[in-house]
């Protein structure tokens, strides 16, 4: 699997190679046109030069001197030239050139061009590509001059251009490849370092590059925050598991001891009933503890079930009425009919925990529960005449946290209010605990009648 560095390098090289290919094609086309234009202009200059020389030789006052023909051939270079005499009356040209640069006798290099300038007085210049030559034909008074340049000159120029282009392009490609490799390495080096640091999750790594203002800095800060959250969650999880195992171990040990004592000794009926009562109370405590643990740790549902909150609260009050009666407490529920959408099991556990907490920490007086709806919110208020809340009562919402002096009044696991807060949070509501001016505690739970985002 390719790394990001290799992908960046391949991308840069691909872009450079594509750009170089397009530039080479466009430059090649342009250069080829320039070569053709230069070749045509050179042929035109040579045919103009030859026309002037022929007039000087054949119609001038001075005859050519010995060696002039060699000089003329040197001036022509690789080009070939032929000169024909034209009869201005008959518009016919001589079949044999009056002068030619080559030794062999050859036919006209451009017969069609030769006939055209001879027969058509309006045409004096013709340029064409004939075989391996670029031929320029010009009529100058009674002479027709043809000059032919080899096309191999154009091919040689283009070959030189291609060679130069390949050399320059190859050098540019290597240089850009080196720069792209350095840039890709500089981009991916922080990512490699972050990956190496992320593998040290157990050691709570301190991610570097957090002070950078680019994407790497954003990633570093996000990873640092994520690691801190994971470490805190892991610490809370370990603390939760340790406290949960301790809370479960205590009633289970008491339950086993009671059964063991009952099985070792012969007891009368009253002793058996006393032990059975302790076993029953311990089993109830275990059930409540396990119910709270399940509510606290299980994933929340999508909250799409219609719940009759009034009927649910009344059912919880009826279920807990015997516990209040044992302590001679007056338990009263009033309110209007309220329906909402939510998790019925979690809502029942929430109401049970709040009411049972009031019963636990109230030794005399009364507990009142009131339910009503206002707008799109359901409000559940529970008031008691108990011992009230400690100074820093917000800590009571943490698992296994109990108020100072709570253990002196009643045993418990410290999970009740943590479960209440989790249920309220999952239903997008809020819960408020406060001390009543006349003594006791007031708990107010506000829940939306429909889940957030629902029509």
Q: Are residues 260 and 309 in the same domain?
A: no
Residue 196's CB: how many other CB atoms inside 10 A?
10
Q: Which of 323, 388, 390 is nearest to 352 (CA)?
A: 323
Query: Number of structural domains, the chain?
Result: 3
In a domain, 161, yes or no: no
pLDDT for 377 equals 93
Domain boundary, last residue among 156, 171, 188? 156
Q: Are residues 152 and 22 in the same domain?
A: yes
Q: Are residues 9 and 151 in the same domain?
A: yes
pLDDT in tens, the chain (455 residues): 566 667 767 777 777 777 777 777 777 777 778 778 888 888 899 889 888 888 777 766 555 677 888 888 888 888 999 899 889 889 999 888 888 887 766 678 889 999 999 999 899 999 998 888 899 999 988 889 999 999 888 878 777 777 887 788 778 877 877 787 777 777 777 766 666 666 665 555 666 666 676 666 677 777 777 777 777 667 666 666 665 665 566 566 766 766 776 666 656 677 667 777 767 766 766 776 666 666 655 545 555 789 999 999 999 999 888 888 888 999 999 989 999 999 888 898 889 889 988 998 888 999 999 999 998 999 999 999 988 887 766 666 665 565 555 555 555 556 778 888 888 988 889 999 999 888 889 999 999 998 765 54
Q: Are residues 352 and 365 in the same domain?
A: yes
Do residues 365 and 384 lie in contact, with contact meaning Cβ atoms separated by under 8 Å? yes
In a domain, 229, yes or no: yes
Do residues 423 and 410 lie in contact, with contact meaning Cβ atoms separated by under 8 Å? no
Let me know if 228 is exposed, middle or buried by CB neighbors in 10 A (0-12, 13-18, 19+).
exposed
Q: State the CATH number of the domain containing residue 309.
A: 3.30.565.10
Q: Are residues 389 and 323 in the same domain?
A: yes
pLDDT for 214 equals 65
- Per DSSP, 300 falls in state P
Q: Are residues 290 and 431 in the same domain?
A: no
In a domain, 178, yes or no: no
In a domain, 162, yes or no: no
In a domain, 187, yes or no: no
CA distance 182 to 161: 31
CA distance 346 to 422: 9
Q: State the CATH number of the domain containing residue 248.
A: 1.10.287.130
Residue 246's CB: how many other CB atoms inside 10 A?
11
Do residues 204 and 227 lie in contact, with contact meaning Cβ atoms separated by under 8 Å? yes
pLDDT for 455 equals 46
Q: Are residues 287 and 391 in the same domain?
A: no
Please state, in angstroms and as integers, the Cα–Cα distance from residue 226 to each residue in 31, 199, 216, 236, following that order.
60, 13, 15, 15
**What range does the domain containing 339 cover?**
302-402+414-448
CA distance 83 to 274: 142
CA distance 86 to 117: 10
- Per DSSP, 386 falls in state S
Query: Which residue carries 């100058």 as its tokens?
Result: 140
pLDDT for 146 equals 92
- Type and span of the H or E element at 435: strand 430-435
Residue 338 dihedral angles phi and psi, to the nearest 5°? -130, 130
In a domain, 164, yes or no: no
Helix or strand or coil: residue 181?
helix
Please state, in angstroms and as integers, the Cα–Cα distance from residue 387 to each residue in 320, 355, 390, 433, following that order.
19, 14, 9, 13
Q: Are residues 359 and 432 in the same domain?
A: yes
Q: Are residues 205 and 269 in the same domain?
A: yes
Domain boundary, last residue among 121, 137, 156? 156
CA distance 107 to 365: 136
pLDDT for 70 equals 84
Q: Are residues 309 and 422 in the same domain?
A: yes
CA-angle at 152, arms to 150 and 157, nearest 5° = 120
Q: Are residues 315 and 280 in the same domain?
A: no
In a domain, 168, yes or no: no
In a domain, 185, yes or no: no
Q: Are residues 48 and 11 in the same domain?
A: yes
Domain boundary, last residue among 156, 180, 211? 156
Q: Which of 170, 138, 132 is nearest to 51 (CA)?
A: 138
């Amino acid at each position: 699997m390719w790394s990001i560095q290799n992908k960046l390098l391949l991308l840069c090289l691909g872009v450079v190679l594509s750009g170089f290919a397009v530039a080479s094609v466009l430059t090649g086309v342009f250069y080829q046109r320039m070569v053709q234009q230069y070749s045509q202009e050179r042929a035109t200059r040579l045919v103009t030069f030859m026309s002037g020389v022929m007039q000087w030789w054949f119609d001038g006052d001075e005859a050519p001197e010995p060696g002039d023909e060699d000089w003329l051939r040197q001036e022509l270079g690789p080009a070939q030239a032929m000169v024909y005499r034209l009869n201005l009356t008959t518009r016919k040209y001589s079949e044999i050139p009056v002068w030619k640069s080559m030794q062999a006798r050859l036919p006209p290099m451009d017969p069609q061009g030769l006939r055209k300038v001879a027969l058509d007085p309006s045409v004096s210049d013709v340029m064409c590509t004939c075989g391996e030559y670029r031929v320029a034909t010009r009529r100058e008074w009674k002479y027709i001059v043809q000059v032919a340049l080899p096309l191999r000159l154009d091919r040689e120029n283009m070959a030189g251009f291609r060679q130069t282009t390949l050399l320059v392009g190859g050098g540019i490609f290597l240089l850009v490849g080196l720069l792209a490799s350095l840039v890709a390495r500089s981009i991916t080096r922080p990512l490699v370092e972050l990956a190496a640091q992320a593998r040290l999750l157990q050691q709570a790594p301190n991610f570097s590059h957090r002070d950078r203002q680019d994407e790497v800095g954003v990633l570093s800060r996000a990873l640092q925050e994520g690691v801190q959250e994971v470490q805190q969650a892991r610490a809370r999880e370990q603390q939760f598991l340790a406290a949960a195992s301790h809370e479960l171990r205590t009633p289970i040990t008491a339950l086993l001891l009671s059964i063991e004592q009952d099985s070792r000794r012969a007891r009368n009926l009253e002793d058996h009933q006393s032990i059975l009562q302790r076993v029953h109370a311990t089993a109830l405590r275990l059930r409540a503890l396990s119910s709270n643990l399940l509510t606290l740790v299980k994933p929340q549902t999508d909250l799409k079930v219609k719940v009759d909150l009034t009927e649910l609260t009344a059912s919880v009050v009826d279920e807990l009425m015997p516990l209040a009666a044992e302590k001679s407490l007056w338990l009263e529920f009033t309110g209007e009919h309220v329906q909402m959408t939510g998790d019925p099991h979690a809502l029942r556990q929430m109401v049970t925990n709040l009411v049972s907490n009031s019963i636990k920490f109230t030794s005399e007086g009364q507990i009142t529960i009131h339910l009503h709806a206002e707008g799109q919110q359901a409000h559940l208020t529970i008031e008691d005449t108990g011992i009230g809340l400690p100074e820093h009562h917000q800590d009571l919402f943490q698992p296994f946290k109990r108020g100072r002096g709570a253990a002196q009044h009643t045993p418990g696991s410290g999970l009740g209010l943590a479960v209440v807060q989790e249920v309220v949070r999952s239903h997008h509501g809020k819960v408020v605990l406060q001390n009543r001016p006349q003594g006791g505690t007031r708990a107010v739970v506000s829940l939306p009648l429909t889940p957030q985002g629902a029509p």
